[in-house]
Amino acid sequence: MIDKVKKELDIRFPLLKLVREQHNYLHVKVAKASVVDAVLMARTCLGFTTLQLISTVDRLEDDVFQMTWILENQGACFVLLISADYPRENCIVPSLSQMWPTASTFEREIFEMFGISFPGNPREGEDFLLEGWKDMPPMRRDFETEEYSMRVFGERQPREHLDPRQYVGDIVGEWNTPMGRKRKEDK
Amino acid sequence: MVKALAVFLPLLGAFINAWLPGKSPKASRAVSYILLTAGLAAAVMLSIQLDAWNLNDLSNSVILSTGVGTPPLSINLEITAGGILAAIAMYAATIFSLHRFALTTPRSQPLVLGLLTASLGLLFATDIFNSFVFLEIGSIITIGLTAACKCGSRWEAAIKAALVSGLVTILYLLAVAALYRSTGMLTLEALGTLTGGSAILVTILLLTVIVTEIKAFPLTGWGLDFYQGTSSIVAGLYSATWSLAVLLWAAKVLPLLPIGNPIIYAWIGAAGLVFSQLAGLRASSSGRIMGYSTSAYASLLLVAAGTTTGAFYTQIVVVLMVFSSIAKFSLFMLGNPERKDKWSGFGTILFLVPILLLAGIPPLPVFWAKFDFLAHLASSFPVIFYAVLTGLFLEAVYLFRFWSERSEKTNEKSSSKPSAVAAVLLMLVAGIWITRMSWGALDFSGSIIASPGLRNIFHGLFAIGTLLCLPGVFNRIGREKNYWFWLLISGAALTILPAAGNGITFFLLWEISAFAAVIGVSKGVGAKKGTFWYAVFASLSGYLLLAGILLSKGSFVIAGLPALLLTIAALVKMGQFGTHLWNIRAYPVAPGTMPAFLSGTASKAAVLLLVAVALNATGGALPWGRVLAWMGALTALGAATLAALAPDYRKMLAYASVSQLGFVLMGLGLASILGWTAAFYHTIHHLIFKMALFLGAAGVVYRTGTSEFNNLGGLVKKMPWTFAFTLIAVISFASVPPLAGFGGKWLLYNGLVEAGWLPVLIVGMFASVVAFLYSFRLLHGVFLGQLSPKNAHTKEAPLPLLIPQAILAMAIMALGFKPTLLLNILVPALEAIPGLSGLAPVIQGDMVLTTMGTWNAWMVGLMVMGFFGFAFVFYWISGHKPKYVGQLDMGFAGEMPPSADEVHYSNNFFRPYRRALSFLPKIHAEKIFNGAAKTFNMLGDGVRAMFTGDGRTYLAHSLLFLLLLFVFLNGGM
Amino acid sequence: MLTNFTSIALTIVGALAWGLLLGGISRSVTARVHGRIGPRVTQNFIDIWKLFRKTSSIHHGGMFWMAPMFRITGAICVLLMVPLVIGQNITCNMSFAGDVFLLIYIMFFGCLGMALGAGNSGHPYAVIAVSRGLAQMSAYELSFSIAVVAIAVGLHTFRVEGIVAAQQAGITSWNIFRFPFASAGMLIAFLPMQMAYPFGIVLAPQEIPIGPPTEYSSRMLSFMFSGRALFGVAKLLLFVGLLFGGASSWLSLLVKTFLLYMYPVVVSSVFPRFRTEQSIRFLWFVPTTLALVDLVRVML
Amino acid sequence: MYCNQRPEKPGNKKEFLKKITNMARANSLWVTAYGTGCGAIELRPLYTSRFDMERFGIAMRPTPRQADVLIISGYLATKTLKRVIRVYEQIQDPKYIIALGSCTINGGMYFDSYNTLNVLDKYLPVDVYVMGCMPRPEAVIDGFSLLMQKIKDGRAQGWKHYKENLDYYRENQKKIITDWDLPDYNW
């Protein structure tokens, strides 16, 4: 399966970049112009008829949103991830809601959380999780969540702030031993 | 003599018109009108001289000779009393149609007058060759008129008529030659002197000619095509003048033919009637329908010629033919087939009168002729009687379908012309009817319900029921028409109904009430289909009633088949056991308070009929009582289940009505005093609560314009009084003590236990529990639950609807708390009926005792009201004031309901119940009836295949008929 | 007259107390079946008093407001139509005013009132519950009425006193032994009457929160609960009278009603619930067939 | 469609048999079956044979109309707050709120979340806080017993406070619920 998928995609999309592969899993990256073609091809020619998820990663450092469409071929138990990078400013991504009605829901959520617009989605702009949200979309990494919380929910005694990396790192160090043994030792 | 001659004034008119220059149409029209009016006046004077309006004796005649010598050189005419009535009809028809001829084809005026002349000549001719001359003139003018009219298929019609008239001419001339050769005479009487081979020859030839000309069944085809092809105005004139003349001429000739045994006519006629009317079921265009109707009347003529003689024959034939021709003329004038006229408003009724006339519905004169005729047939020729009855019922079916299809609402206003036609028609009809009425066939001694107590109860029921429906008649929704007049007529006829003293009176009042109600129902919006079904079932029960009464020969009803027929008639009227179709079709579409009247009051006529059957046939006990009780129980159960699943308020009430009447039937079937007490109690109770419910429904429909549950709900806030009265009625019919409904059930159950009919009891109890389902559905679907925004501005029902409901609600309370008031009247009256078995319930003060049970309604009522009042007061004074919240303020998982419509549970209400029922096979009464209709239609199609529309086929039919007659008569002699 | 009124008042109060106590006991029993301790047996009194003393409440309209009264009136009327103890005329209350048919039909009074109140609340779940309840009622009333008719016809009286009096010749003359099939049918019909599982589709808290009284609160709810308790006792008395030979003394009345009350409680706590149509079909066929056996026997 | 009448202020009316009534109220606490956050799952053990809250007369009611107690079980999102307000106001007086977990006290681990409010007191009158993340069933029962004690003493007057200071609470609620589409009065 994986060879076939790779071959088919390779022939048509030479800009293909392989991100990761397993025996039942393939993550490829394509140019943003050929995303729709790639997805369409995967759906019609390769049997990836299920859209599992559309995920978005805000890569602030590269100033892009990395969009990933996770498709599944249920017959072959194979998952295909097709990614593309989109610039963060006025980000516009083609909608797949005509192909998968489910996509409409994912796209509404992404619009709400990241402000990415999907022209062609019939339900774009409808409230999904946030009711009456007026601020910057909260999942963008430039959204100052603590500042927002203080401003809106406010007047709370600030608590001791720990650097998560260091904090977690310390604990992970302690927890390095398998749990079961530690418990036995406790006893 | 002069007056008699004046009958022929139109001939003069024809000539003048033909010679007058076509450029002065006004002058020629004026001449025509003057001459026709003069002729009509002469005919009327002559008719008075001959005492023709006394339909009892039509034998007077005047002989008129013209020219010199003897016929055929001169023209000898015998103006009979019957003929002069026909002449008046012809004159009237010509006068009315001349206007339209002048408008459409002014040049055809001479033809019109000529056709009238020919018709009159044929009508009065005494000589066979004279008849030939007039026959030829008439045929040729008909062809000419058809060819001159402005309609697409005129040539086909004209050519077919020409073909047939050619064949007829040949055969007729052969017959004339044969007659002249053997007898040397050409008078009609000479036919009777024929013997031997020439007699057979002349008979065969003339019979073929007559059957072809009058368009009786096997040779109907050309007539159908002719009526369909020609314009309505020509067809109307033709049917009122020429066709009538030919029919009466045939009536004159047929008894004179030397056929030996005239019963052959009757067989031809009876078979033809059934077959042609089967074929008529499928007809759709008004021309063809009239053609089939003509065929029916031609067949009736043959039957009459075969079974009756003398003055009776003349009377029947003249009345049937003259009035049916007038009716057909009116229908053609009103229902213009080219323009596919549809009638509304007054026009609908105008349209209905001729239909009723054709279908032989009382009190129109055709009915009287048919009634006497059928009575005669029933006593002497039973098989022909059934055939004729079947044929007439089929005719009624397609006529009513025709009417219901045409009486759709349209924007077209009925013009003055048809109303003028109909006014004249009505005058004629009313005149004859009143004349006939005065002969005194009616008897209002009330002897069919011997017990004056029961009679008075029924009088009271009908009168009160009608009166309570009347205040609300003007509160109808938008497009519904006035129906109060018909409701009043129907109610009045019902109120007199218990006073009927013989069968014909009962039947007359029954049919008047039924068809007045049909007209009333037809006033509703979208009532087309419902009215049709109602009319069909009303005529079915009417014909069954008629058959039963006629077979009983004198007395109202005798045991055996007549009693069975009458019982079935009552069941159809009640809508029991599969015949509920008309209830559920007609009630939901009937306007305003009409369903209240139908269900509450009119259905009690069936109870009256059953009681009358029981009293007259066996002296008390209904025959087949056990079967009836079972039917009642099963109907009660089935209809209650269907009511629970019904999607429409008025439809549910219709089912409920059928279901509740099932309980009445159970009581009547018991034939014990307890059973009949229960039946009467429940009858009265049904009248009260069902009228209250339907009046409430009328108010709801008046305010909201709909009775579908999906559009209603929550109206209690807007219509609290309607709700209160409906609630009382519902609690009552769910038989919850202390209201009135429980009494009927209690008496019935005691009666059933006394008789040992426990299975019936169980089914009945089950049905009464299922009644809970629809009682709640009814209250919730309309009044409780969420108020839809559509009905947000609804107001309380108008007072004329509320006040009768209030009266009825009070009656329910009174009857519930003090049932002994009614029982004290009922029980003695029923105890006096000898045929009833069993013990009467004992009434001690407020206590009612049977052998096994006790019931003290007053104490129960006091207890319930006492504790209710106590709880109410306690609630009130305990200082707890609940706060009223909006209808959407409810615990809804923290959400706000999006809209009232989305949280109102109405669609598919008793879904689990429907699912639980799913193991039952789905038997739809509708499907059964549709299947029957389909079978009839198939048979009709088979018959219809004969009428190919090809002129040659029709000639072949005539020749084949000739051949068959030859074989048959030759073999027979 | 005065003694009559006293007797009626005492009957109502006593039945209310006994009904609430039985309710508390049943909650305890159910809890023990679950392996819990359960509430106090007086818990229902506490609940009723708390509800009665809540300081605010709401209503949705006239029928909603009156439904608790309908309920309680219906319950009291059924209660008073059944004689309590044999031989004590004073405890017959109003039972002279009607027979078994009247009882069967007057039982609907409270149900109808409650259904109307539920309908007026405008809550879809309440109405769904009512539609289920009515559908189920029409099913169990079939077997119930067949059984009652079989017993009444077999004993040649419709009067409850008469039926009770016919069972006084020792334990074998009880109708449950004389009409075993009809009694079985009736006892199965008793389960849905008491809204016990597997027929508890009306107050199904899992899917249609608490059924008809969804919108009822505070004092109205306390009336509803009182009505239910009274109605429960009335039904117990009726069943004891019809099947178990009535009660010859106060003690036997308490014991018999208690034991009869425990029967649906125990059944209820071990069964899951039917779907509505399953319940209806079961009630159409199983108890009805049982009751019909005795009906046929009586007819022959 | 909705009630738009401002609730009457309860005042301090003299109550008939106040002591007994308070005892009854305390011993018959009916809880609205409504879970707002992760704590809802912690309530389930309370019904079971191990903890058995019915022995205290505590029972669950599926409709707020019949309940006395509303348990805010854990973090409360602004979106949920809207529903909670409606549920709370639909409960008939006297009514009590038990708030579980640190989230309701100060936001807990969601202190800087964009949609979790930090201090519940500003929006609803809480009678008893049970701390922990999440509190164990024993702690919840402890909270209940505290509430029962407060009711017995007549100190559980949060609902009165709410009604008397409705404007203050409404202002706070409307500040964070930006698309306020509730009716103003929900009982």
Is the pLDDT score of B650 beyond 50? yes
D177 and chain A in contact, CB less than 8 A:
yes
Higher pLDDT, B477 or B449: B449
pLDDT at A183: 45
Positions in chain D short of pLDDT 50: none
pLDDT, mean of residues B87-112 = 77
pLDDT at B724: 92
- Residue carrying the six token digits 């293909």: A16
Is the pLDDT score of B409 beyond 50? no
Query: In this predicted structure, which of A139-143, B346-350, B967-971, C275-279 has the lowest mean pLDDT?
Result: B346-350
- Residue carrying the six token digits 């559009």: B711
D4 and chain B in contact, CB less than 8 A:
yes
Q: Quick one: pLDDT band at residue B723, thresholds 50, 70, 90?
A: very high
SS (H, E, C) A127-170: CCCCCCCCCCCCCCCCCCHHHHHHHHCCCCCCCCCCCHHHHHHH
pLDDT at B68: 56
Which burial class, exposed, middle or buried, applies to A177 when counting CB atoms under 10 A from its CB (0-12, 13-18, 19+)?
exposed
B855 and chain C in contact, CB less than 8 A:
yes
pLDDT, mean of residues B660-685 = 90
> pLDDT tens, B570-582?
889 888 877 888 8
- Chain A closest-CA separation from residue D70 CA (Å): 22
Q: Quick one: pLDDT band at residue B66, thresholds 50, 70, 90?
A: low
- What's the mean per-residue pLDDT of chain B? 81
- Chain C closest-CA separation from residue D118 CA (Å): 31
Could you report how far apart the first and last alpha carbons of chain D are, in Å? 12
In chain D, residues with a C-beta closer than 8 Å to the C-beta of C28 are none
Chains that touch D (3 or more CB pairs under 8 A): A, B, C
pLDDT at B828: 87
- Rounded Cα–Cα distance for residues B154 and B151 (Å): 6
Higher pLDDT, B738 or A13: B738
Contact at CB, B893 and D183, closer than 8 angstroms: no
Is the pLDDT score of B345 beyond 60? no
Q: Give the pairing type, strands D30-32 and A25-29.
A: unpaired
Contact B642, B777 (CB under 8 A): no
Query: In this predicted structure, which of B184-188, B331-335, B482-486, B505-509 has the lowest mean pLDDT?
Result: B331-335
pLDDT at C147: 92
In chain D, residues with a C-beta closer than 8 Å to the C-beta of C209 are 33, 61-63
Note the Cα D98 to chain centre separation in Å: 5
> pLDDT tens, A62-94?
899 999 999 998 888 899 999 999 998 888 999
Residues 863-902 of B with CB under 8 A from C: 863-864, 867-868, 871-872, 875, 878, 880, 882-885, 887-892, 900
Q: Quick one: pLDDT band at residue C46, thresholds 50, 70, 90?
A: very high
pLDDT at B973: 45
The residue type of C197 is Y
Residue to substitute from B736, B747, B787, B850, interface C, most C β-carbons within 10 A: B736
- Rounded Cα–Cα distance for residues B298 and C147 (Å): 64
pLDDT, mean of residues B596-625 = 85
Q: Quick one: pLDDT band at residue A184, thresholds 50, 70, 90?
A: very low
Is the pLDDT score of B415 beyond 50? no
- Rounded Cα–Cα distance for residues B266 and B388 (Å): 10
Higher pLDDT, B345 or B351: B351
Q: Quick one: pLDDT band at residue B442, thresholds 50, 70, 90?
A: confident
Q: Quick one: pLDDT band at residue B722, thresholds 50, 70, 90?
A: very high
Fold of D18-176: Rossmann fold (3.40.50)
Tokens of B113: 């007058």
Residue C157: closest C-alpha in chain B: B852
pLDDT, mean of residues A14-35 = 82
Contact at CB, A153 and D82, closer than 8 angstroms: no
pTM of the model: 0.85
B761 and chain C in contact, CB less than 8 A:
yes
pLDDT at B314: 83
Q: Quick one: pLDDT band at residue B56, thresholds 50, 70, 90?
A: low
Contact at CB, B889 and D64, closer than 8 angstroms: no
pLDDT at B337: 45
Gyration radius of chain D's alpha carbons: 16
Q: Quick one: pLDDT band at residue B375, thresholds 50, 70, 90?
A: confident
Residue B842 φ then ψ, to 5°: -90, 130
Q: Among B104-118, B673-687, B823-837, which range has the highest average pLDDT?
A: B673-687
* Domains of chain A listed by start with CATH number: 2-154 (3.30.460.80)
Query: In this predicted structure, which of B83-97, B681-695, B776-790 has the lowest mean pLDDT?
Result: B83-97
Q: Quick one: pLDDT band at residue B81, thresholds 50, 70, 90?
A: confident
Q: Give the pairing type, strands C58-59 and B883-884.
A: parallel
D179 and chain B in contact, CB less than 8 A:
no
Is the pLDDT score of C285 beyond 80? yes
Q: Quick one: pLDDT band at residue B721, thresholds 50, 70, 90?
A: very high
pLDDT at A185: 47
B25 and chain C in contact, CB less than 8 A:
no
Which burial class, exposed, middle or buried, applies to B345 when counting CB atoms under 10 A from its CB (0-12, 13-18, 19+)?
middle
Query: In this predicted structure, which of A120-129, B20-29, B304-313, B613-622 has the lowest mean pLDDT?
Result: B20-29
Which burial class, exposed, middle or buried, applies to B789 when counting CB atoms under 10 A from its CB (0-12, 13-18, 19+)?
exposed
Is the pLDDT score of B567 beyond 70? yes
pLDDT, mean of residues A28-51 = 87
Query: In this predicted structure, which of B325-329, B878-882, D60-64 has the lowest mean pLDDT?
Result: B878-882
Residue ranges of E strands in B739-889: 842-844, 847-849, 854-856, 883-884
Is the pLDDT score of B803 beyond 60? yes
C49 and chain D in contact, CB less than 8 A:
yes
Helix C218-243 / helix C100-121 crossing angle, nearest 10 deg: 160
What letter does residue D136 receive in the DSSP assignment? P
Is the pLDDT score of C17 beyond 90? yes
Residue B708 φ then ψ, to 5°: -80, 135
- Rounded Cα–Cα distance for residues B110 and B18 (Å): 6
Q: Quick one: pLDDT band at residue B414, thresholds 50, 70, 90?
A: very low
Residues 29-48 of D with CB under 8 A from B: 34
Is the pLDDT score of B412 beyond 50? no
Helix B286-307 / helix B263-280 crossing angle, nearest 10 deg: 160
Residue C148: closest C-alpha in chain B: B762
Q: What percent of chain A has pLDDT over 90?
A: 18
Most distant CA pair in chain D, distance: 48
- Rounded Cα–Cα distance for residues A30 and B22 (Å): 94
Is the pLDDT score of B24 beyond 80? no
Q: Quick one: pLDDT band at residue B69, thresholds 50, 70, 90?
A: low
Is the pLDDT score of B816 beyond 50? yes
Contact B692, B725 (CB under 8 A): yes
Contact at CB, B894 and D86, closer than 8 angstroms: yes
ipTM of the complex: 0.86
pLDDT, mean of residues A98-116 = 90
Is the pLDDT score of B374 beyond 70? yes
What letter does residue B895 receive in the DSSP assignment? P
- Rounded Cα–Cα distance for residues B243 and C9 (Å): 88
pLDDT at A160: 66
Three-state secondary-structure class, residue A80: strand
Residue A50's DSSP bridge partners are: A72
Cα torsion through C221, B736, B905, D60, rounded to 10: 20
Is the pLDDT score of B17 beyond 60? yes
Length of chain B: 973
Q: Quick one: pLDDT band at residue B10, thresholds 50, 70, 90?
A: low
- Residue carrying the six token digits 């706000």: B896
- Rounded Cα–Cα distance for residues B334 and B354 (Å): 10
Is the pLDDT score of A6 beyond 60? yes
pLDDT at C44: 92
Which burial class, exposed, middle or buried, applies to D134 when counting CB atoms under 10 A from its CB (0-12, 13-18, 19+)?
buried
Contact at CB, C116 and B735, closer than 8 angstroms: no
pLDDT at B338: 45
> pLDDT tens, C166-199?
888 888 888 889 999 999 999 999 999 888 888 8
pLDDT at A180: 43
Is the pLDDT score of B421 beyond 70? no
Report yes or no on chains A and B touching (3+ CB pairs under 8 A): no
D187 and chain C in contact, CB less than 8 A:
yes
